[in-house]
Amino acid sequence: MTKYAFKPHDPVSLPIAGTDERFPVRRIYCIGKNYADHVVEMGGDATRSEPIFFTKAAETIVQSGADIPFPPNTSDLHYEVELVVAIGPDDINGGIFGYGVGIDLTRRDLQSVAKSKGGPWDRAKSFHRSAPCSAVTPAENVNLDGARIVLRKNGDLVQASPLANMIWNVEEIIERLREDMDLQAGDLIYTGTPAGVGPVRVGDELSGGVESLERITVRFV
Ligand code: MN
């Protein structure tokens, strides 16, 4: 048995809908610029832009129902609701274990500085508690045909889009990640956000959903 110098952190995991088992999280891959209307709202040219990859640490996961202390060093914290793909072993459902709904929390002010300086996005994207995610619904219980992704802030609809508007669909994203990175069971993929991103403040509640999936609801305190 390995002797650690101090107690390792417990593995990060998410509930799996309908069971008492949990989904052990390995890496979090994120896709940026995957909906044309979001590319445009961020000042980009959707006809010339390609989706991009970045990552968040697994430890940034927040379970649905949590209160999130407002993060430090930002006056422009933004929500981005996203379909999340949960990768499993290759022999289950072709490697797609299930799906969830996530919120890619972004310190937009820090991201703008990073973009202007050509610097990394870690402080903007991979800060503590920056990846709220719903319970994972096993793929056999999911039907995304014609499904829409929506986000409500304090009950008001702020983001809504057919999932079909994704520039790279789920299969294309997985194919590209498999070619380029090391995609393994336990990996989560945040697949990008549609238009309507905006700020959150202390006291706000966010609630995101996709038909046939568990909801993500968090509150900022
Ligand atoms: Mn995003």
| Residue 91 contacts residue 55 (beta carbons within 8 Å) | no
> What are the pLDDT digits (tens) for 128-147?
999 999 999 999 999 999 99
The token duo for 17 is 């809908």
The 10 Å Cβ neighbour count of residue 183 is 20
Mean pLDDT, rounded, for 190-196 = 98
Q: What pLDDT was estimated at residue 78?
A: 98
- Whole-number Å distance, alpha carbon 116 to ligand 1 midpoint, is 18
**Other C-beta atoms lying within 10 Å of the C-beta of residue 48:** 7
Ligand 1 centroid to Cα of residue 7, in Å, is 33
- Ligand 1 centroid to residue 4 C-alpha, Å: 36
DSSP label of 181: S
Q: Which fold has domain 18-220?
A: Fumarylacetoacetate hydrolase; domain 2 (3.90.850)
> pLDDT tier at 26 (50, 70, 90 boundaries)?
very high
- Average pLDDT over the chain, rounded to an integer: 97
Ligand 1 centroid, distance to 9 Cα (angstroms): 27
| pLDDT of amino acid 80 | 98
Average pLDDT over residues 66-88: 98
d(CA 94, CA 115) in angstroms, rounded, equals 36
Using pLDDT thresholds of 50, 70 and 90, give the confidence band for residue 91. Answer: confident
Cα distances (angstroms) measured from residue 193 to each of 23, 151, 174: 23, 10, 17
> Average pLDDT for residues 77-87, to the nearest whole number?
98
Task: Note the residue count of the chain.
Answer: 221
State the Cα–Cα distance between residues 123 and 127, nearest whole angstrom: 6
* pTM for this prediction: 0.97
Beta carbons of 79 and 103 less than 8 angstroms apart? yes
C-beta of residue 176 within 8 angstroms of C-beta of residue 209:
no
**d(C-alpha 43, C-alpha 30), whole Å:** 20
DSSP string computed for 148-217:
EEEEEETTEEEEEEEGGGBSS-HHHHHHHHHHHS---TT-EEE----S--EE--TT-EEEEEETTS--EE
Q: How far is the CA of 81 from the centre of ligand 1 (A)?
A: 7
pLDDT above 90 (res 93) = no
Tens digits of per-residue pLDDT, 103-126? 999 999 999 999 999 999 999 999
Calculate how far, in angstroms, residue 30's C-alpha sits from the geometric centre of ligand 1.
Answer: 7
The three-point CA angle 139-13-69 to 5° equals: 115
The type of residue at 20 is D
| Amino acid identity at 161 | S
What number is the average pLDDT over the span 94-101?
A: 96
For 144-187, what is each residue's pLDDT tens digit?
Answer: 999 999 999 999 999 999 999 999 999 999 999 999 998 999 99
Domain spans, the chain: 18-220
Ligand 1 centroid vs 19 CA: distance in angstroms? 29
User: What is the per-residue pLDDT for 48?
Assistant: 85
